[in-house]
Structure 1
Amino acid sequence: MGAQEFPIGGPAAALAARVRAGTIAPVDVVTEALARISSENRKIHAFNVVRAQQARAEAVELAARDDLDALPLAGVPVAIKQNIAVAGVPTRTGSAAAATDPAQVDHPVVARLRAAGAIVVGVTAMPELGLWATTDEAEIVTRNPRDVGRTAGGSSGGAAAAVAAGLVPIAHGNDGLGSIRVPAAACGIFGIKPGRQVVPAEIGANSWAGMAENGVLATTVSDAALALSVLAGRPDLAELLPPQRLRVGLAVAPPSRLVRMDRHWTAAARTAGARAAAAGHLVEPVDLPYGDAAQAMLLRWPSLALADADRLPHPELLQRRTRRHLAVGRLIRRLRLVRASQVDRIEAQMGDFFENFDVVITPTLAAPPPKAKVWSGRGWAANVLSSARYAPFTGVWNLLGWPAASVPMGTHPTAHTPLAAQLVGPPGSEATLLGLAAQLELTN
């Protein structure tokens, strides 16, 4: 793909175009990003490691490359979530129990971003082992740039905060129960979790039972598409072609009757449906066949990080809430309450449903994000209830391994926090979701 073919529609794409054209030097781009981080990070705690010296040196090296005009992310500053390897930085997974030795080599996702010309300026904060839908660590709370009194979400909360605050235009995140879409919705930015085997997903052997995927958070759909095309090694994903007329299901009911919906989050999904209809798509109110999805998610959640926890060199330093969560997970595993047949039933029901629909729109969240506080110091039950109450819509698509995205849909009229809708499609529908999201974004 030649330089002239890259989309120019977001800050990352525009920066890369200027770097390729020689109108701005990579080191100037990186220096500006580092200045923003220095100024703002103390307010929101998006980053826990800033690679200032290394990033500047890498920007100088980048400028000397003879293939600069062919790099889709030339000079773009990016952030990486701290649970995948960045050479020279400890892979801490949000935990004091993790190893402090620096990683020796980059994770494949990081390597692909670097090969595309991106500069890693730092790694972002996350809750311990990625288990929680709020982000804090060692009494340092990651705050939402849209309302610093509220959480940025989790577990890619630091990544979402970095993008929403304008510290970087693109951030890596990963998503095992909604950990990209939840913070994207909380912070009012775009986030996409690809389906299985689209992007290298190695986070650790047996980590998260194969439910976690590496993806992207960005200020615009076009920037996210560009970054996802790099992570997936698929230039076609950057093209953002308008999809042909889609059959869209509008499903506003939550997966469980126990969930109390904030009516403004329901309205956000309806707004997305109306915009999809205005773009020419056939939109129909539907009830998704969730079946036992809520139960299946709750049974799996406590055991998802057991493999990660077993590799920790200092398990005695795990937070109290995490130790309790893992103990519940071990009990569930001992009782053999998690069975493959549970997911098989849900997948069969959803597969039948999607015979008649191309995309489904749901609310991304059920309520505004919780208050920003030291959730790691609170009890296990309080953490479980808080996470489950406001983020019930996302996890089912991790069970199935299907692609899903969160698209901003305005502002909550009383909480004054962002609203968002979730777009979901069957395996292989990443390009469709991106194209539809871009259409919704144009009318946002």
Structure 2
Amino acid sequence: MSLPDDAHSEPTATAVATAAAVRAGTTTAATETKAALARIAERDPALGAFQVVRGDKALAEAAAVDARIAAGEHLPLAGVPIAIKDNIPVAGEPMREGSAAMSAEPRPADHEVVARLRAAGAVVVGLTRVPELCVFGTTDSVFGTTRNPHNPERTSGGSSGGSAAAVASGMVATAHAADGMGSIRIPAANCGLVGLKPGSGLVPADMGAHSWFGMSEHGPLATTVADAALMLSVMAGRPELAEVSMPEHPVRIGLATGIPTPLARLDPQWKAAAESAAETLRAAGHEVVELRIPYPSNPLPVLARWFAGAASDADHEGLDDRLLEPRVRAHVRAGRRLARVGALRPGPVDRARAKVEAATATVDVLLTPGLAQPGPPADEWHRRSWTANLRSNIGYAPYAALWNLLGWPAAVVPAGWHESAEVPLAVQLVAHPTRDGTAEALLLSISAQLEAAAPWQRTAARREATLG
């Protein structure tokens, strides 16, 4: 299998530019939606990003947006084609969550985040693939395997891997994603995108039974900081977040390249990317200090919520365990056992939070590698054992989960190219939570400074890729 010769011949306009052009009348929502659907038809067969392509429904939606523009409405996302991760309801479409056990019946109403995006003028062109119940850091299931547009032999990450592949390939400029253990930031790091997980409470969560005990948040995947900010501003209902500006004064940045777990090994190129980003920020006038984050020595508080969150979602949907993939069935059963024995007590989380707050009290932003290793091969991980999936996920993507446990906002931005793996490099930025959006605004500001100082290629370059 190979990518089409012209799969990446023209870069997709940014969401900011598309919305401005639709509002100005130099293009229409219908025109932009037709173009997005054509790109999906051309590129998606080689990448497997989409679970559902909405076709005629999206065109009808675009016509309604054009009518709203003609009537004088000012729409922040006017006519912007977007994709929604297949883990929240979209009215009239099934929500499969990568699982044959989930109902194929259409959902009756939009999730609040989808409703906000549509109210802002976005056009939902499709739903993107996820691993079953959004559990793992690779996106493959009985429905297919999603590939990294930069190197289709490797994974796009997970669980928002479909959304990441759709954006990185230029099928759409921006997409909805969700993050319970790194599921926005891991695909962003794999695919060379901007991804932001907001802090707790900024965006309505309401996923599954209880959003994985409060660890899961909705956020954007985009090719530019400005597009990510625009999407976040709509999701959060905070228009001011769309206005990204450079930092008004220097901030103190803690460079933390320590390994969160003995099960992971930091690839030198990923470490060098973080150090290079730190130097860029130092050159911009910020103070950069080396920092040691006290990652919990006992991983059970994170793992228990990861396992039990999936179990709660399976029970919430009334799923038949026999229809689940073996790796997910094991994950769910472990979660139920841990919940029964009291592994979800808040005490360990409170102690971890206190240690991290004390260790990071003197810095404004934390800077870590985006991943420890390049993403694994785009393979049928859903056919492998639970332990093989755990080893792979923890070993390559250990930097994200702590910030879900604590509810801190975190962003990933591109930071170079991994020569041997032929995939992007990335760094993670983390801020102390504020609940009023100022922490997210700070992350966007620092991200914009990195983007200006070291611009990245917005979408995957045209390449020949032969897959076995």
TM range (shorter): over 0.9
Matched, 1:438 2:442: no
Tell me which residue corresponds to 1:260.
265
Distance 1:78 1:61 in 2: 15
Tell me which residue corresponds to 1:401.
407
Matched, 1:309 2:306: no
Tell me which residue corresponds to 1:386.
392
Q: Report the CA distance between 1:313 and its aligned residue.
A: 4.3
Post-superposition CA distance 1:26-59 (Å, at most 9, x none): 1010000000000011100100100010110111
Q: Report the CA distance between 1:10 and its aligned residue.
A: 6.8
Contact 2:163 2:177 in 1 (8 A): yes
**1:20-419 equivalent positions in 2, closer than 5 A:** 20-65=23-68, 66=70, 70-138=74-142, 140-243=144-247, 244-292=249-297, 294-315=299-320, 316-419=322-425
| 1:70 counterpart SS class | coil
Contact 2:156 2:164 in 1 (8 A): yes
Distance of aligned partners of 1:187 and 1:251 in 2 relative to their CA distance in 1, 3 Å threshold: same
Tell me which residue corresponds to 2:463.
none
Distance of aligned partners of 1:25 and 1:293 in 2 relative to their CA distance in 1, 3 Å threshold: farther
Q: Which runs of 5+ in 2 are unaligned?
A: 1-11, 455-468
Structure 1 stretch displaced more, 361-370 or 332-341? 332-341
Contact 1:87 1:103 in 2 (8 A): yes
Distance 1:174 1:68 in 2: 32
Task: Name the aligned partner's letter for residue 261 of structure 2.
Answer: S
Distance 1:248 1:57 in 2: 47
Distance 2:143 2:382 in 1: 8
Distance 1:28 1:365 in 2: 38
Equivalent of 1:16, from 16, 19, 38? 19
Distance of aligned partners of 1:138 and 1:233 in 2 relative to their CA distance in 1, 3 Å threshold: same
Tell me which residue corresponds to 2:8.
none
Distance 2:420 2:298 in 1: 31
Aligned length: 436
Post-superposition CA distance 1:302-354 (Å, at most 9, x none): 11111110133441211111111111112222222332111101111122233
Post-superposition CA distance 1:231-278 (Å, at most 9, x none): 101111111121221110000012123321111111111111111112
Distance of aligned partners of 1:258 and 1:387 in 2 relative to their CA distance in 1, 3 Å threshold: closer
Q: Report the CA distance between 1:67 and its aligned residue.
A: 5.3
Tell me which residue corresponds to 1:427.
433
Structure 1 stretch displaced more, 91-100 or 212-221? 91-100
Contact 1:225 1:434 in 2 (8 A): yes
Contact 1:21 1:69 in 2 (8 A): no
Q: Report the CA distance between 1:139 and its aligned residue.
A: 5.7
Contact 2:311 2:333 in 1 (8 A): no
Distance of aligned partners of 1:68 and 1:245 in 2 relative to their CA distance in 1, 3 Å threshold: farther
Contact 1:126 1:157 in 2 (8 A): yes
Q: Report the CA distance between 1:62 and its aligned residue.
A: 1.1
Post-superposition CA distance 1:329-382 (Å, at most 9, x none): 122222223321111011111222332110000001100000001100111111
| 2:356 counterpart SS class | helix
Q: Which runs of 5+ in 1 are unaligned?
A: 1-8
Distance 1:93 1:371 in 2: 22
| 1:326 counterpart SS class | helix
Distance 1:257 1:313 in 2: 36
Structure 1 stretch displaced more, 212-221 or 346-355? 346-355
Distance of aligned partners of 1:155 and 1:179 in 2 relative to their CA distance in 1, 3 Å threshold: same
Distance 1:439 1:115 in 2: 30
Distance 1:333 1:314 in 2: 18
Q: Report the CA distance between 1:190 and its aligned residue.
A: 0.6
Distance 1:337 1:113 in 2: 37
